[in-house]
Amino acid sequence: MGTTQLETAPEPKYWHLKTVLSDALDSEFAVGEILPNERELAARFGVARATLRQALEQLELEGRLQRRRGVGTTVAPPRMGVAVGDSAHGRPGTAADGWQPVDADEAVPPTAVARLLGTAAGETVQVVRRIRKTHGQPVAAELLYVPVESVPGLSVPEGLPGAARARLVLRELEDLRPDGQDQAVELGSARADDAKQLDRLPGAPVLVVTTRYFAGGRTAAVAVATYRADTCRLTFGDNGAAEAVPAVLAG
């Protein structure tokens, strides 16, 4: 007879662990509850800590868990629906939908952005930093690149503090009333500066939303927004039913 186990399909330990933990989260834990620490969990399941961590990482990636150094691992709430496709929200400069201006500067954009803007290499543009909060939590950090040609009337007083300067550029851009936009979403990892604003560690998974704003047949501005992938579900709606959709399976 030989080996009895046919079709054994050697599932990795961390994968099996993940499903076990996932089921346990559904049935035995409430949102916000703290799990036993990693060493304890590893011992309980009879695996090395690294293996246990591999399972936890996956669950965190799927938005099921939240881990904070020095604190512990907690059960994460369902992901927030965040509207990004809605033109009303998307237009830069429209105030108070969770976006807060942080800073502004004149700088040379990354080459990829410069290519989108159609500016020459080395040419400086206005760079506005914004942060977006939902339910008090930071969900996105954005860099908005505006060529000076797009805001010809702009004059920035010397010594103006950053947030005020940012508001000034945004207000100016609002008058432009862009007539179209274009968005792309891809997976990335948080740069150190973005990570700090999003209250995450560098390298944390983020959804990078690149938006092109068109005005008068030109690309008037480009925004690169990095959303926390663990806590956010980006919604693109004909109708803004953001909160209605629950987190989806696919784990």
Does residue 35 belong to the site contacting DNA (CB under 7 A)? yes
> In sequence order, what are the beta bridge partners of 65?
75
Residue 130 sits in the site that holds a second copy (CB under 8 A): no
CA–CA dist 29, 35 (Å, integer): 9
Binding flags for a second copy, 77-116, as an x/- string (CB under 8 A): --x-x---x------------------------x-xx-xx
Site pattern 67..106 for DNA (x: CB under 7 A): xxxxxxx---------------------------------
| DSSP string covering 190-223 | --HHHHHHHTS-TT-EEEEEEEEEEETTEEEEEE
Return phi, psi of residue 90, to 5°.
Answer: -70, -30
Select the span of 35-43, 69-77, 152-160, 234-242 touching a second copy (CB under 8 A): 234-242
Name the residue with tokens 């309980």.
44
DSSP-assigned states of every residue in 40-65? HHHHHHTS-HHHHHHHHHHHHHTTSE
Give me the residues that bind a second copy (CB under 8 A), please.
15, 18, 58, 61-63, 79, 81, 85, 110, 112-113, 115-116, 180-191, 194, 202-203, 205-208, 210, 212, 214, 224, 226, 229-230, 232-239, 241, 245-251
